Amino acid sequence: MPARYVVIMAGGRGERFWPASRHSTPKHLLPIVGETPMLTQTVERVLGIAPKENIFVITTQAQFAGVRVACPQLPTENIVAEPMGRDTAAATGLAMLLVKQRDPQAAFAMLPADHVIHDVREYQALLNVAFASAESADVLVTLGIKPTEPATGFGYIEQAGPWKNVAGRDVVAVKRFVEKPDLETAQGYIASGRYLWNAGMFVWRVPVVEAGLKAHAPELHAGLVAMEAAAAKDGWASALAAGYPNLKKISVDYALMEKSTNVVVVPATFDWDDVGAWPAVANHFPTDAAGNVLRGLAMIEDGANNIVVSRDGHLTAVVGADDLIVVSTADATLVCARARAQEIKALLKRLEADAEKKKFL
């Protein structure tokens, strides 16, 4: 079996879990669910898939120090900071180049840093199926999550029909990738039984993904080629600083997956939650008799269905109020109606525009 690589995508702006998350400490650097940062849990899960020398993390410059602390197992040179965010196609290109310099034929997985998956055995088994699939043919492999509700926050993958059985598992040909649907469309997807959620988990060989980018995103690919040459000559730091800002800003779904016809999907049979925002946290902690989730030193006096996240030594108390998210940190406190968590972004836009309050981002 050829060497396998894993590239963990650990960027993110730290908005949805504000004020616990910030630009420099987004969700994957926090123990939102579990006792260690989500990224640490992700690294531990993939250590059964690839040796630690073959595990990369792509992050931002603001998060580099936090990532270094959260991944003590990994060599420092495997943690690479984008000079700035250029969307997921550019990050995919960077991941491809990082693996290519080690082994131009290797297969690698590209995985998000901040998902919750408890069934590690099944997760590793299916990743190995995805690797074996990618190593057996010139295909782009993805893992698709069986939807549990008509979510409008994910892209979907429409299955075409059986591709082949790999290591005892049925891998499925993909008909198409579709972007985040509206509710009605999502309900149709669920009813059809043919759709899976796109969780941003991909496995492919370097030459296959490079050919895909060259065919479907030639401008981006040209930038990657230039950056690869610069890195060989002057090293990654200078190559990234000079080349990355010029890469076309586009998502990997739009640039590659929606346009490719050689895509197959491994339907996921492990538990999965992207824990997209504060309300999702409630699924991972016990509730009291009134449905409240209390973390840290928190108290409720006659209130129901609240999520209260306090901090060490600080008491956060809710009296006579229901359906709130209350998060208390050293320098900022959020009180948000549980059904309105998506509006936190509007608040953060106002912080961004305010010289005095920008420091809270």
Please report, as ranges, the residues that interact with a copy of itself according to CB under 8 A: 19, 297, 299, 301-302, 310, 313-321, 324, 326, 328, 331-337, 339-341, 343-344, 346-347, 350-351, 357, 360
The DSSP code for 183 is: H
What phi-psi label fits residue 168: left (phi over 0), alpha (psi between -120 and 50 degrees) or beta? Answer: left
Q: How far is the CB of 327 from a copy of itself (least distance, A)?
A: 10
d(Cα 43, Cα 78) in Å, to the nearest integer?
12
Residue that is written with structure tokens 């690479």 in the block:
80
Q: Give the residue with the Cβ less far from a copy of itself, 182 or 356.
A: 356
Q: Give the residue with the Cβ less far from a copy of itself, 259 or 357.
A: 357
Q: How far is the CB of 12 from a copy of itself (least distance, A)?
A: 20
d(Cα 141, Cα 126) in Å, to the nearest integer?
11
Q: How far is the CB of 268 from a copy of itself (least distance, A)?
A: 33
List Cα–Cα distances, 32 to 35, 68, 97, 164, 290, in angstroms.
Answer: 8, 18, 32, 38, 22
Q: Give the residue with the Cβ less far from a copy of itself, 251 or 306.
A: 306
Q: How far is the CB of 114 from a copy of itself (least distance, A)?
A: 22
Q: How far is the CB of 21 from a copy of itself (least distance, A)?
A: 14
d(Cα 189, Cα 283) in Å, to the nearest integer?
24
Distance of CA 303 to the CA centre of its chain: 34
| Contact in structure between 26 and 13 (CB atoms under 8 Å) | yes
| Contact in structure between 165 and 264 (CB atoms under 8 Å) | no
Q: Is 253 exposed, middle or buried (0-12, 13-18, 19+ CB in 10 A)?
A: buried
Q: Could you write out the three-class secondary structure of 263-282?
A: EEEEEECCCCECCCCHHHHH
Q: Give the residue with the Cβ less far from a copy of itself, 240 or 324.
A: 324
Q: How far is the CB of 163 from a copy of itself (least distance, A)?
A: 45
Q: Give the residue with the Cβ less far from a copy of itself, 237 or 317.
A: 317
Give the type of residue at 292.
Answer: N
Q: Give the residue with the Cβ less far from a copy of itself, 231 or 298.
A: 298
Helix, coil or strand: residue 122: helix
Q: How far is the CB of 351 from a copy of itself (least distance, A)?
A: 8
Q: Is 255 exposed, middle or buried (0-12, 13-18, 19+ CB in 10 A)?
A: buried
Q: Give the residue with the Cβ less far from a copy of itself, 246 or 305.
A: 305
Q: Give the residue with the Cβ less far from a copy of itself, 229 or 337.
A: 337
Q: How far is the CB of 106 from a copy of itself (least distance, A)?
A: 45
